[in-house]
Amino acid sequence: MYLLGGELPAMVLIDSVSRYVDGVLSEDSTKEESFSSNLLEYPQYTRPEIFHGQKVPDILTSGNHQKINDWRKEQSLKITYLKRPELLSEEEKNLAKKLLN
């Protein structure tokens, strides 16, 4: 099989477009991705709990789903404020400033 150079970009385009076609993915699959709610995505962690000296935040291993969701929302807000503040409303900017202090 010979590759002519456009296959990989074509696959990326097909993947990024087809995921929003009804029935391709479950409804919840794209809910928390960057820009799905005008916020950048929160940090993602995996095992082991300590990697290169960095520890997974305790809240994520607590089992308290409401606190985990709150933490994720706060992280998304802070990251968006630091990297793309133009995406936030004034109210969201003020909340992000409070969270960063």
Beta-carbon contacts of 80 under 8 Å, excluding residues fewer than 6 positions away, are: 38, 39, 40, 87, 88, 92, 96
3-class DSSP state for residue 44?
A: coil
What domains can you pick out in the chain, each with its CATH number?
33-47+59-101 (1.10.1270.20)
Find all residues with CB under 8 Å of 36, minimum gap 6, and list them.
30
- When pLDDT is cut at 50, 70 and 90, the band that residue 93 belongs to is very high
Digit-coded pLDDT (tens) for 64-80: 999 999 999 999 999 99
pLDDT in tens, 43-58: 998 889 999 999 999 9
